[in-house]
Amino acid sequence: MSIERVTTTKGMVQKAREQLGFLERGAEVLKMKRDQLAGELNKLLRELGRRKAMEKTFAEALDSVRYAYAVIGYDSFASSAGAVGVMEVRAIPTSTAGVIMPVVKITERPSPDQVATSTVRKATAKLSAAVEEAIELAVLEAEVEQLAWALMSTNRRVNALEKVVIPRYKEMIRYIEEKLNEEALQEFFVTKKMRDITQVARERSQTSATS
């Protein structure tokens, strides 16, 4: 809003003050949100280091699977795997400080004990555990990503409010008040001048009446 185009009225000042109050309260709320998001993000960042361990677990599980394939061949491996059901998961969106984040629940776990061949069973157990860990980590990384975006966006809004919008409003209020004061002063001087002129005119007419 360009200050020069603002109507300089008392009503305008009142309105601007109300809006400023609202913006300042909004900025406080956004700062609280920012702090909460930062806290949540810090908690999760510490756990991101699990990725290396998860990758190692996955690599070991895949080594076991490859060995099991070599021991009994593709056909028998696929047939052994036929005894095991599939893993079923459900993605549930949740909200943390207004940020939609995914939570993945494993509703059906394959049971490695079902596999008849021992080498495939061992590989299945390792791979199941590795996949579960990978799912947990994927959810964690998605949460971190969502929180980071939300934190960045909130921070931008807070900065915009504190450094641009609120100062502009304050400046606008200051300008209008200054203008109003100027007008009031001008009116005062005009009134005083008029009073003086009226006084002089009255005195003159009184003097001419007596003479």
Partner 1 sequence: MKRMLRFKHAGTAVDKGLLIGIPKGYDYVDLEAMSEAPTVQDAVKSLEKTRFQGIADSMAVYEKYKLVSIIEASLDKIYFDSEVRPALDRLGSSAGVDELVGTEIDLVGIKTLADLRTRGVAADAARGVCPLPFYLKADEVARISEASPDSVPRTLSGTRYADVAQPIQTALNATNDESLDRVVKSEIQRRTRRLMFRLALSFGYVLGYVREVEGEADNLVSIVTGKELGLPESKIQAALCL
Quickly count: other Cβ atoms within 10 Å of residue 177's Cβ.
Answer: 15
Select the span of 3-11, 27-35, 114-122, 141-149 touching partner 1 (CB under 8 A): 114-122
Q: Smallest distance, Å, CB 77 to partner 1?
A: 9
Q: Does 128 bind partner 1 (CB under 8 A)?
A: no
Per-residue contact flags (x/-) with partner 1 for residues 38 to 77, judged by CB under 8 A: -------------------------xx-xxxxxxxxxx--
The overall longest dimension of the chain from CA atoms, in Å, is 139
Query: Which of 30/68 has CB closer to partner 1?
Result: 68
Question: If residue 101 lies in a helix (H) or strand (E), which one and from where to where?
Answer: strand 99-108
CA dihedral 31, 32, 37, 43 (to 10 degrees): 120
Distance CA 31, CA 124 (A): 48
Q: Does 127 bind partner 1 (CB under 8 A)?
A: no
What is the tally of helices (H) and strands (E) in the chain? 4, 2
Q: Given candidates 83, 135, 137, 166, which one binds partner 1 under the rule CB under 8 A?
A: 83
Q: Does 87 bind partner 1 (CB under 8 A)?
A: no
> Which among 106, 96, 105 has a CA at the least distance from the CA of 146?
96
Residues binding partner 1 (CB under 8 A): 63-64, 66-75, 78-80, 82-86, 113-114, 116-119, 122-123, 125
